[in-house]
C-alpha cells in the first residue's frame, strides 16, 4: 500500500536520504531501523508531507503523495505518531483524542473514543486532565490514541519506545502486535532493533541515507553482520 521509490530528501541544501526504496503491504508490520541521524525522521516527515522530497516518488494506496500537503495525506489514512509525541499540552486528554479525528474519522468519533479508551483505560482516567500533566508513557499512549482516532490505514510509529521504561516498552510492542492483529498496517521506525525485529514482518536497515539491508525480519535477526553491528551480539 506504501511504495517509496528513489526517495531523495533533506533540509535546505543538505540531502540526507540519497535514493531510498521502501514498501509496506496491506496488513504488514515493517520496521525501519537505524541509529540516530541516519535519516529516519527525514523519511517520516516526507511521508507525512511536512517536507517535500527533492526527488523520487511516494505512492500510498495508488496515489502519488510526494510533496502533497499533510492534510491530504491524513485524508488518505496515512497517519504518523511522531517522535516526541507532539500531543497538545494545553488541551485535555479528551480534546487531544477528538482532534485526532479533525479530518478523518469524524463521523465515528464517539465510537472511536470508546475504542481508544478501551485500549488505554489510563487515558479514560485522565480524560479531563491537560496533556502536559501526563507522564511520558501516558503521553505516548495519548499520541497513539490520537493517531487511532483518525482510523489509519497505515500507522507510522516513530520511535514509540523512546524514553519509556522497559515494562512500558514491552507493553508498547505487545500493543503493536494487537493492532496489527486487528488488520492495521504499521510502519515502525525504531532504534530498538531487537524488539522491533521480533515484532516486524520485514525490516529495512538504514545507514547514511540509504537502505543498507532489507528482508524478512526473522532472517535479518539471524544475520551475523547485523547482529554484530546493531544487536551487540
Residue ranges in contact with another protein by CB under 8 A: 48-50, 69-71, 73-75, 79-80, 82, 85-91, 95, 98-100, 102-104, 146, 150
Report d(CA 171, CA 154) in Å as an integer.
20
Any alpha helices (H) in the chain, and if so which ranges? 40-47, 70-76, 93-100, 109-119, 121-125, 136-149, 166-181, 193-199, 217-222, 224-226
Closer by beta carbon to another protein, 48 or else 193: 48
Contact 172, 20 (CB under 8 A): no
C-beta of 34 vs 100, nearer to another protein: 100
When the beta carbons of 80 and 193 are compared against another protein, the nearer one is 80
CA pair distance 13, 19, nearest whole angstrom: 16
- Min CB(55)–another protein separation in Å: 22
Closest distance between another protein and the C-beta of residue 68, in Å?
12
In the complex, the smallest distance separating the C-beta of residue 84 from another protein, rounded to whole angstroms, is 9
Pick the closer one to another protein by CB: 155 or 220: 155
The distance of closest approach from Cβ of residue 207 to another protein in the complex, given in angstroms and rounded to an integer, is 26
C-alpha radius of gyration, the chain, whole number: 17
Residue for grid cell 495525506: 73
Amino acid at each position: 500500500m506504501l511504495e517509496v521509490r528513489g526517495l531523495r530528501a533533506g533540509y535546505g541544501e543538505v540531502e540526507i536520504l540519497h535514493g531510498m526504496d521502501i514498501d509496506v503491504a496491506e496488513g504488514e508490520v515493517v520496521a525501519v531501523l537505524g541509529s540516530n541521524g541516519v535519516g529516519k525522521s527525514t523519511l517520516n516527515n516526507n511521508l507525512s508531507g511536512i517536507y517535500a522530497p527533492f526527488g523520487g516518488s511516494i505512492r500510498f494506496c495508488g496515489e502519488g503523495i510526494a510533496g502533497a500537503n499533510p492534510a491530504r495525506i491524513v485524508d488518505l489514512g496515512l497517519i504518523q505518531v511522531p517522535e516526541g509525541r507532539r500531543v497538545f499540552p494545553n488541551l485535555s486528554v479528551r480534546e487531544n483524542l477528538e482532534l485526532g479525528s479533525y479530518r478523518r474519522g469524524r463521523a465515528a468519533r464517539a465510537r472511536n473514543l470508546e475504542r481508544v479508551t478501551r485500549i488505554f483505560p489510563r487515558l479514560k482516567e485522565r480524560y479531563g486532565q491537560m496533556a502536559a500533566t501526563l507522564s511520558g508513557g501516558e503521553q505516548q499512549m495519548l499520541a497513539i490514541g490520537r493517531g487511532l482516532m483518525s482510523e489509519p490505514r497505515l500507522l507510522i510509529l516513530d520511535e514509540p519506545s523512546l524514553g519509556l521504561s522497559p515494562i512500558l516498552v514491552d507493553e508498547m510492542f505487545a500493543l503493536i502486535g494487537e493492532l496489527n492483529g486487528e488488520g492495521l498496517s504499521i510502519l515502525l521506525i525504531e532504534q530498538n532493533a531487537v524488539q522491533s525485529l521480533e515484532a516486524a514482518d520485514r525490516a529495512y536497515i538504514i545507514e547514511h541515507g540509504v537502505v543498507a539491508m532489507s528482508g524478512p525480519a526473522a532472517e535479518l535477526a539471524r544475520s551475523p553482520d547485523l547482529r554484530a553491528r546493531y544487536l551487540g551480539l
